[in-house]
Amino acid sequence: MPSNPFHRQLKTILDGFRKEPPSRTPSLVATLFGDVVESHNREIWLGSITALLEPLGVNERLVRTAVYRLAKDNFVESTKIGRRSYYRLTEPARKNVSHYDQLIYYPSNKTWDGDWTLVFTGTQGINASKRAKLRKELTWLGYGIIAPNVYGHPTEPIAPTQSILAKAGVTDQVVVLRASNYDPMYGLGTKGMVRQCFKLGELEKKYAAFIKHYRALAKAMQPGGYVEQEDPEHCFMLRIMLIHHYRRILLLDPELPAELLPDNWIGREAQALCAAIYRPIEAISEQHILRLCENQAGPFKPTSARFRKRFAAL
């Protein structure tokens, strides 16, 4: 890479990315499906995945292993035509990816009615192993641990919660309630409870690390940073690393309404930084994607207008 501010920062980030353990490859491939494949007819040839990820230090063997693991986890499914395999998301995975797609690219300010969903799992008939599994599933869904065997969330839709309870076979053994704060002036206070129960301090550290990692590069992309003449492959590498790192934090974010977050919540700064980097490189990176990628119908077609509006609200 020639030496200019953008290239120097990109090289630093790329060098660090290539040192990440191979165990992260399935997560990277999942990011590729969410950010690229879903916006291009939802299917991709296995060889195209390798061609896209090889410059990031991910070889064909790692790609095949990652896709195999994702298939075992019911995240992707394949169609084989001759010697070629084409992959797409399964329907359950597509729903999950669509949810995070909305969070990443099309943020909106949720309105909160002041109520909470509370799930009590300490009732008789639920053994320790089931309680441990419920704890894992509910916290993954974004619930905070209000007290032992009591989980709460202000805005989580009830359907995913019911699905977890049904899958665990405990629908008739737990208590699910809607509740509101009896007296805002009494006790710890809602914001104080949220900080403790949702471990916001740990999340703040992750957002701060993301900002520190990408801030210098964002400055290098300002007018005079040469991005407008940048190589499409470099823009694609940056795009996929950026969304991969940002998405991994969002997976841990409980998606709380603004009323319950600290003032000047650092997550908003991270979101704005991600948008400031993504928007200028998106169209340039698409040139690289269209040049390399195929599905059963042939070379990828340009994305629709909806996908070209990613981060438009920011």
pLDDT at 99: 87
Segments in the chain forming alpha helices (H): 5-18, 25-35, 46-53, 60-72, 91-105, 128-141, 158-168, 190-197, 200-220, 232-250, 266-292
Confidence of residue 239 (pLDDT cuts 50, 70, 90): very high
Q: What are the residue ranges spanned by the domains of the chain?
A: 5-108+226-309, 115-180
Question: What is the percent of the chain where pLDDT is above 70?
Answer: 94
Nearest alpha carbon to residue 28 among 3, 2, 65, 53: 53
Q: Express each pLDDT in 277-306 by its tens digit.
A: 999 999 999 999 999 999 999 999 999 888
Give the architecture-level CATH label for domain 115-180: 2-Layer Sandwich (3.30)
Degrees, nearest 5: CA angle 128-160-30: 95
Q: How far apart are CA 193 and CA 146, in angstroms?
A: 8
Is the domain defined by 5-108+226-309 classed in CATH 3.40.50.300?
A: no
Nearest alpha carbon to residue 105 among 56, 36, 17, 208: 36
Q: What is the DSSP string of 29-64?
A: HHHHHHHTGGGTTT-EEHHHHHHHHGGGT--HHHHH
Section 171-183 average pLDDT: 86
pLDDT at 224: 56
Q: How far apart are CA 18 and CA 12, in angstroms?
A: 10
Residue showing tokens 């190589």: 231
Q: What is the DSSP string of 210-240?
A: HHHHHHHHHHHTSTTS-GGG--HHHHHHHHH
DSSP letter (8 states) at residue 166: H
Confidence of residue 313 (pLDDT cuts 50, 70, 90): confident
pLDDT at 2: 52
Section 1-13 average pLDDT: 79
Q: Kindly tell me if the per-residue pLDDT of 250 is higher than 90.
A: yes
Q: Kindly tell me if the per-residue pLDDT of 197 is higher than 60.
A: yes
